[in-house]
Structure 1
Amino acid sequence: MTRSLSENSLAKYGQKHEVLGRGANAVVRLCCPANGGSKKLAVKEFRKRRKNETQKEYIKKLIAEFCISSTLHHENVVSTVDLIQDEKHHWCVVMEYCAGGDLFGRIHCGTLKESGEVNCYLKQLVQGVQYLHSMGVAHRDLKPENLLLDKAGKILKITDFGVSEVFRNPFCTLARKAKGLCGSGPYIAPEEFESGEYDSEKVDVWSVGIIYYVMVYNSIPWKAATMSDARYKHFVEHKGQFWPFDRMQAGPRRLMYRILDPNPATRITIKEIEEDEWFKSLSVCHEDTTSEMAGHQHVGNPKPFK
């Protein structure tokens, strides 16, 4: 982690400005070039080391997140540029800037209503997760707040790899199991609430299903996937007769029951989602896709990042 003074300076990318987002472990700020250039970036400024945390443990976490995110290159994953220190010696990750804000903002303001746009975001999310899994990485904290949009609100990108898991090393076929509760509230898979090991790929699949539900209904299906939650208990005990799914058309209804299967052993995989006939029929946007080509429009975030 030793660099020259010039290499260690965030100034080569520009100056930090307003806060774009806050989390438990970091603050994300806009970074504008000081020389009048047009390329804006985002800077994730990590929290300070905790008192009960050694310097070695602290640095290890930063490097782990950077090493994972910097190896990922996909249209539906936020690009990582650098790990560097700012003028106050705070460690920062420099990232691609997504001016459209996050998916949570679109859902919260109630403008995500058109089914073509919802399904396009679902397909982009699955494409991004499938890429992560092909690289041996499970995200483990997929939620609308960690899904960013470009300026036009057309391209969805996965971000925040702070709790990601490398479940399979390069050139290995055997997947490593994960342990411990990880993620955010209703997006956490039921097997994580148990004490044993679990498949982190299947955890991501579960989160994808909850995200789709939230996009469709602008609400969460339950607070936690545990039998102490009345709505989740009803879902488990009336499998195949859950009214929010039954209101959907046949294609998404069948897929949602397979994605939100409480049993991870029989839950569908990301690769199997991509092979689903209804899913394959969905039109998806890329950077060069026009509304006419896609057959749907993207509204964009009414309160995007500046």
Structure 2
Amino acid sequence: MGLFTKSKKTQDLNNINDTSFSTTNSINTINSLTSNQSNSTIASKKKISRNDIKINQIGDGVSGKVDLYRSRSSPDFKYAVKTYHSKEMYESKSEYKDRVLYEYNTLHNLHHENIIQVYKYDVSLNGNTIKTFMEAGSPNLYDLIKHVPVSKLDPLGMLCIWKQICQGIRYLHLQDICHRDLKLDNLIVDIPNRTVKIIDLVTAADVHNNQLAIGLVGSPSYFAPETLERIRYDGKKADIWSLGIILYYLLNKKFPWKQAKIQDERYKAFLSLNPNYLSSSSDLPPPILNESGYEIGKPSVLRYLPSESWPLTSQIFESDPEKRCGIEEFFTNDWFTNIKYCHSDIRCGINHTIVFKDHENA
């Protein structure tokens, strides 16, 4: 995978309105953010050095491990260091650098409060290992809520979190980038600021000019059905499906199915037509169960989501990507635009303590 070389739109999407997007109003702001030295300047001010203190390992994945560090000169400053796995035997050093730095070069050009920010990278003397220095965050969202009973999760607090994720995806999609591996594990929280940040763009794809994404990546529970059926697919629409799965999990602490394929009994039931369900109706019909005891049709999913969300979520959970909504349709939906969420210096007013308290104490 080559370097991310697409010229970026001059848009400050941190300040986009929930219901509209204005390029004209945002150009001046983003110009001050997209200078090449912006991230390295942050790193310099925070005084990242080789003598800083490693606190602990906070992640270990397919592409590498992530460690949390504290600056010696600025003790209040913590940052994360992602150490990519060493060069493969079949790769040249330049091929390895191009492949690994794809994520860095993608993130270096992105500036949004719900996207992780990178500061700099470092290549070892032998050229076989690369490290990226970036913002630190809490454990991922999955780890944050996995021990919290669903009865103690405030639905409005979960919607605040979900809307922040949607804000970050809107920004990515307007930059013609699809993430392709959206999942709770790839979302971290800046706890003091109550800000969710999207991480791990290793498998993100540049899809300008309506280019299709290629290849199956991600995690089974979040796969959009078309990614299992086709080599090429609309990466942005696949992200929308994953956003729906994340919403379902945040509100129910479970997934609607293991994988969106016909061999999965729950998903197969979801695909079955419920003759009494009308998408234009504000009510759901009584459940109809199949021979395996699973409810059939879209109501099997919508029933576990806020009723006000049904006009939007019924479009999110469209197995046909041609019929599935895009991210901009979220921002014209009354239910979505009325969700209060934490951003910049504004708080949603919802108590997030149940989710964050253990980590704040730590």
Q: Smaller-chain TM-score range?
A: 0.7 to 0.9
1:235 to 2:270 alignment = yes
Please give the per-residue CA displacement for 1:152-173, whole angstroms capped at 9, x wherever unaligned: 37211101111000111xxxxx
- Deviation, structure 1 residue 75: 0.9
Aligned to 1:80: 118
Aligned to 2:211: 176
- Deviation, structure 1 residue 107: 2.5
- Deviation, structure 1 residue 302: 4.4
- Deviation, structure 1 residue 250: 2.1
> Secondary structure at the residue paired with 2:121?
strand
Equivalent in 112, 120, 130 of residue 91 of structure 1: 130
Equivalent in 230, 239, 249 of residue 306 of structure 2: 249
Distance 1:13 1:95 in 2: 17
Contact 1:260–1:267 at 8 Å: present in 2 too? Answer: yes
Contact 2:181–2:204 at 8 Å: present in 1 too? Answer: yes
> Secondary structure at the residue paired with 1:24?
coil
Aligned to 1:126: 166
Q: Over the residues paired in the alignment, what is the CA RMSD in angstroms?
A: 2.3
Give the stretch that moved more between structures: 141-150 or 188-197.
Answer: 188-197
- Deviation, structure 1 residue 188: 1.0
Distance 1:120 1:87 in 2: 44
Distance 2:75 2:124 in 1: 20
Please give the per-residue CA displacement for 1:89-143, whole angstroms capped at 9, x wherever unaligned: 7311100111x32210223112561011011111111100000111111111000
Aligned to 1:150: 190
> Secondary structure at the residue paired with 1:132?
helix
Once the two structures are superposed, the pairs formed by residues 78-227 of structure 1 within 5 Å of their partners are 78-85=116-123, 90-98=129-137, 100-110=138-148, 113-152=153-192, 154-168=194-208, 174-227=209-262
Aligned to 1:281: 338
Distance change in 2, residues 1:176/1:242 (3 Å): same
Structure 2 residue runs without a partner (length 5+) = 1-43, 275-296
Distance 1:12 1:76 in 2: 28
Identity of matched residues, %:
29
Please give the per-residue CA displacement for 1:55-102, whole angstroms capped at 9, x wherever unaligned: 33321111211110111110111111111136897311100111x322
Contact 1:178–1:199 at 8 Å: present in 2 too? Answer: yes
Aligned to 2:89: 51
Equivalent in 295, 319, 328 of residue 262 of structure 1: 319
Contact 1:126–1:274 at 8 Å: present in 2 too? Answer: no
Q: How many residues align?
A: 290
Once the two structures are superposed, the pairs formed by residues 51-70 of structure 1 within 5 Å of their partners are 51-70=89-108
Distance change in 2, residues 1:297/1:87 (3 Å): farther
Distance 2:69 2:124 in 1: 12
Amino acid at match of 1:197: R
Contact 2:270–2:300 at 8 Å: present in 1 too? Answer: no
Distance change in 2, residues 1:202/1:244 (3 Å): closer
Amino acid at match of 1:115: P
Contact 2:251–2:305 at 8 Å: present in 1 too? Answer: no
- Deviation, structure 1 residue 12: 5.0
**Max radius of gyration: which structure?**
2
Structure 1 residue runs without a partner (length 5+) = 1-6, 169-173
Aligned to 1:171: none
Aligned to 2:351: 297
